[in-house]
Copies of this chain bind each other. A is one copy, B any other.
Amino acid sequence: MKKLLLTAVFFFLLSSKQYGQDSIEHQIEKIYALALTQGKSYHWLDHLANRIGGRLSGSLNSELSIQWAEEQLKEMGFEDIWLQEVMVPKWVRGNYEYASFETQPGNSIHVDVCALGGSIGTSIFGLEAPVIEVQSFEELEELGRGKIEGKFVFYNKAMPPEFISPLDAYRSTVQQRTQGAYRAAQLGAVGAIVRSLTLTQDDFPHTGNMSYGDLANRNRIPAIAISTNSADLLSSMLKLNPDLVFYLKQNSKNYPEILSHNVIVEMIGSEFPEQIIVFGGHLDSWDLGDGAHDDGAGVVQSMDVLHLFHLLDYKPKRTLRLVLWTNEENGLKGATTYAQEAIEKGENHIFAIESDAGGFSPRGFTFEATDEQFKKLQSWQRFFHPYYADRFVRDGSSPDVVPLRNGTTVLAGLRPDLQRYFEFHHAANDTFDQVNKRELELGAAALASLIYLVDQFGI
């Protein structure tokens, strides 16, 4: 009899476990089916990219996008929408950006350039100087002040195409953009020209953030990105005529900090309301394109997570908090302000995930986690196998969750296929038409599914 009872209990446990597992798989199946049939990501992105457009923080468009997000969340039934105040840098691209160089006496050729974010402008007469091409800071240092002073430094290191991950290729070269002007100015250069960070040969200059570090105002120099085609042209012409003169005229400008906002809403957890799961994207973008991939995609996917949970009538156990950060691109003030207040309030963030790698076909996730946490995460990989999103890797996180790093909060990122990303990254061709509806929706589903698992089982 006892044996029979034990057997019965065993089968009960087995079947309830079975049921539990089926029910997870079924729930994720529903999330995916809803995302692909009733998801709002693509519709929202259409508005954000095509009706609002590029939205550099501090700009009018940035404000419009914050208002729009607030309205959409209200329409979804959220009443307590928190607009968290954030002071952000305000940098404005000039109304002219022009560069050329003389190919032979009397003939000059236009090149495709754009100011880097944060760059000062030239004088109204423009800036004319010879060019010295380098591949690295080491080369720059070797050349020294004698060869650098009074010239444009032309950083022409290409993103290495043989890297399988374009992100690794980007990381290996991005310093020439972020620090190039600073390092060149220290040696007396008058300007910095940086090869665009893309693996594509084309005519789009790719902007991005740069810093003057501790340089005094009077020592700062204008910094521009140059398209890969124009960079190759300039490089080949320099070989023919090392003394050619480059002309740059642009009037970008820095203004005092102004007020912006993070947009935040949450669904309070029914069992563990003090455990917070944060997810989101950054609402600001660069000004050249319409920020469809970077990071319109992450914004609408994160909003869609809430929409999908509403469709499922899902009641979270833990508190699910959507954060649409401001000012990721040129200051990270949204993320640092958010993290600072969270720490001040003693909030318990157990998990923070950002989607900020483009609206491409999802392949999995990145994690910053302890071994134990990662082991638990890996036990969920199989749930993502049917959706081709089961590549779980330990890698650095998207910038907006990094300020939450404390050794216990798991930081994560949605990791889509990145092969096309840098074609559009920070350039005028980062536009809505380059986003595929299904790829975008699959990202929203992957994000919602992982959040569902963390909510159900903790981490």
Which among A32-40, A63-71, A230-238, A346-354 touches the partner chain? A32-40
- Chain A: how many interface residues by the 8 Å CB criterion? 25
Copy total for this chain? 2
Among A158-212, those with CB < 8 Å from B are 161-162, 164, 166, 199-200
Of listed A162, A419, A423, residue having the most chain B CB within 10 A: A419
With A32-B162, A388-B391 in contact, do A361 and B438 touch (Cβ < 8 Å)? no
| CB of A417 closer than 8 Å to a CB of B | yes
Would you call A420 an interface residue if the criterion is a C-beta within 8 Å of the partner chain's C-beta atoms?
yes
Asked, given contacts A363-B388, A391-B388, whether A161 binds B419 with beta carbons under 8 Å apart, the answer is no
Q: CA of A419 to CA of B37 in the docked complex: distance in angstroms?
A: 15
| Distance from A157 Cβ to chain B, minimum over Cβ atoms (Å) | 15
- Whose C-beta in chain B lies nearest to the C-beta of A440? B419
Q: Which of B37, B391, B420 contacts A439 (CB 8 A)?
A: B420
Q: Which of B33, B162, B439 lies in contact with A162, CB distance below 8 A? A: B33
A436 touches B417 (CB 8 A): no
Q: Is the CB of A419 within 8 A of B164?
A: no
- A386-B164 CB under 8 A given contacts A361-B361, A442-B419: yes
> Is A419 touching B391 in the complex (CB atoms < 8 A)?
no
CA distance A436 to B358 in the complex (A): 15
Q: Which 6 A/B pairs are nearest by Cβ-Cβ distance?
A: A33-B162, A419-B438, A36-B161, A361-B417, A36-B162, A361-B419
Q: Can you give 14 A-B contacts (C-beta < 8 A)?
A: A32-B162, A36-B161, A36-B162, A164-B386, A164-B387, A164-B388, A200-B437, A361-B417, A361-B419, A363-B388, A388-B417, A419-B438, A419-B439, A423-B436
